[in-house]
Structure 1
Amino acid sequence: MRLLNRTNERHEDNNPHQRKILVADDDPAILRLVEVALSGQRYQLVTVSNGLEALKMYRDGEYQLLLIDVMMPYVDGFTVTERIRSRSDVPIIIITARDGTDDVVHGFELGADDYITKPFRTAELQARVEAIIRRVEGYQHRKASPIVRIGDLEIDEPRHKVLLAGEDVNLTPMEFELLYFLAANSGQVFDREVLFREVWGYEYVGQTNLVDVCVRRLREKIEEQPSKPRRILTVRGVGYKLADGGSL
């Protein structure tokens, strides 16, 4: 089975510009840890200590990534994520102290792209951030690929654009990545481990619901009846697939 993917299209980072990251956390120790993990020539960090400051500081197009703590004073991380996601597809990683709980799932449902659990190691944070940045910047650095059309669904990879029956569909970066991967391999079934590795860019963490939540969000955006999907299908006991055009 030949997979059409982009994980092997990694490029050398010759971009002289720093990636600007907004970090919001009310714990000074976490802010220091993030600064240690992401210090250097690649990243420029802007740190704030609560959600209200994060909303005031954020400007569309100014940041390449947001790191948002869930539990913050004045405005919590969920509200920050929801408000920013309503007007921007900037990648968002939520920081949570409670792994495997409804907090993580709720963050994904609001549009977060990934999460990291406190306490975390610098190497883990670096891997998560670099995976997200690599995916997003891949839109500009990879060679233009053909537009994928399946029925009335059109995925324009070079322009990061999705049309359904001629209408724009607004997706987060990782929702787009997941849809493109499934569409480029339509009809093939993939388990969560493969999807996690190919889309998020690192090894699957068995207890996370990230893949399932991302599939659910995609169904809400491209299915006429999300509870009875005809495009993104569940293969019981195996995983997910995107139906090919002939089965729609």
Structure 2
Amino acid sequence: MINYDENILVVEDDVQISRFICYALKQEGFRYQAVDSAQGALEMIVLGHIDLILLDLGLPDFDGMEVIEKVREWSDIPILVISARDQDKEKAAALDIGADDFLTKPFSTTELMARIRVAIRHLRKNIGNDTNTILIKDDLKIDLSKRLVYLREVEVHMTPMEYSLLALFFKNIGKVLTTRYIIQKVWGVEYGDDTQALRTLMAGLRRKIESNPAKPQYIVTEIGVGYRMKDI
């Protein structure tokens, strides 16, 4: 068993599910704390020392969507939504306002741990990134040293997952990237072939950088294969 330094906050009001998640985290060597309300979650986050949030949306005091919005006003802590809401529009809405990933109930311990390890890897990459490269494509610019994105010189807010996806395309301009390759690079090998998660993330990214997401200027779909960032 690996002992992780990261501290995970479990925000879940269903006692059985909370115990299940906490037991799984303990077995895998994660440090964790658990609360059963949105207010309790915000209080814990403000106190600090939280590295990852596992967030249920159906909380008793107010909706988990509001928690995401409030946290994103001042923090980039990775947020993994765990919810029974399985409609694509719900997932897109959560990712669009700042969640990093979305796991639908019911779920297996294996899938939960895979998603958590992905989030931890992204967190460590963000902390250790020391590159100073600035890449530009038409009106779109990415500053890899500061992890900032600009569209027509105006900063565009990106979730960590959206940033990782866009950075991957910038580093491979003109190349067709298969869905499998993108998933492995952004989420990790153990994530599998969840093309729906990729489509949802791509839709959110396009809404932020494309004037007309239906006719993308920057990242086009290569039907049946994957995606490509235009080089001309």
Using structure 1 for the length normalisation, give the TM-score.
Answer: 0.80
Of 172, 184, 187, 2:174 maps to: 187
Segment drifting more, 125-134 vs 48-57:
48-57
Contact 1:105 1:209 in 2 (8 A): no
Displacement after TM superposition at 1:132 (Å): 0.9
Of 219, 222, 232, 1:235 maps to: 222
Residue-pair matches, total: 230
Matching of residue 197 in structure 1 with residue 184 in structure 2:
yes
Contact 1:192 1:204 in 2 (8 A): no
Matching of residue 51 in structure 1 with residue 45 in structure 2:
no
Contact 1:68 1:95 in 2 (8 A): yes
Contact 2:115 2:191 in 1 (8 A): no
- 1:31-60: CA deviations, max 9, x gaps? 222222222796432211122322333229
Cα 1:60–1:235 shift into 2, 3 Å: farther
Cα 1:61–1:181 shift into 2, 3 Å: farther
The code of the aligned residue for 2:144 comes to: E
Inter-partner Cα distance in structure 1 for 2:47 and 2:219: 31
Matching of residue 26 in structure 1 with residue 13 in structure 2:
yes
Match of 1:105 in 2: 92
Q: Secondary structure at the match of 1:190?
A: strand
Matching of residue 96 in structure 1 with residue 86 in structure 2:
no
Contact 1:37 1:123 in 2 (8 A): no
Segment drifting more, 145-154 vs 175-184:
145-154
Contact 2:88 2:200 in 1 (8 A): no
The code of the aligned residue for 1:69 comes to: D
The code of the aligned residue for 1:203 comes to: Y
Match of 2:116 in 1: 129
Displacement after TM superposition at 1:195 (Å): 1.6
Match of 1:114 in 2: 101
Cα 1:194–1:61 shift into 2, 3 Å: farther
Displacement after TM superposition at 1:185 (Å): 0.5
Matching of residue 209 in structure 1 with residue 210 in structure 2:
no
The code of the aligned residue for 1:193 comes to: R
Inter-partner Cα distance in structure 1 for 2:128 and 2:28: 20
Using structure 2 for the length normalisation, give the TM-score.
Answer: 0.84
Cα 1:143–1:110 shift into 2, 3 Å: closer
- Runs of at least 4 residues of structure 1 off by over 6 A? none
Cα 1:85–1:192 shift into 2, 3 Å: farther
Match of 1:3 in 2: none
The code of the aligned residue for 1:214 comes to: L
Q: Which runs of 5+ in 1 are unaligned?
A: 1-12
Match of 1:158 in 2: 145
Inter-partner Cα distance in structure 1 for 2:130 and 2:95: 30
Contact 1:23 1:66 in 2 (8 A): yes
Match of 1:63 in 2: 50
Contact 2:7 2:51 in 1 (8 A): yes
Inter-partner Cα distance in structure 2 for 1:60 and 1:219: 35
- Determine what percentage of the aligned residue pairs are the same residue: 36
Inter-partner Cα distance in structure 2 for 1:17 and 1:192: 30
Displacement after TM superposition at 1:145 (Å): 6.2
Inter-partner Cα distance in structure 2 for 1:61 and 1:145: 29
Q: Please tell me the root mean square deviation across aligned C-alpha atoms, in Å.
A: 2.7
Displacement after TM superposition at 1:64 (Å): 1.6
Inter-partner Cα distance in structure 2 for 1:115 and 1:167: 28
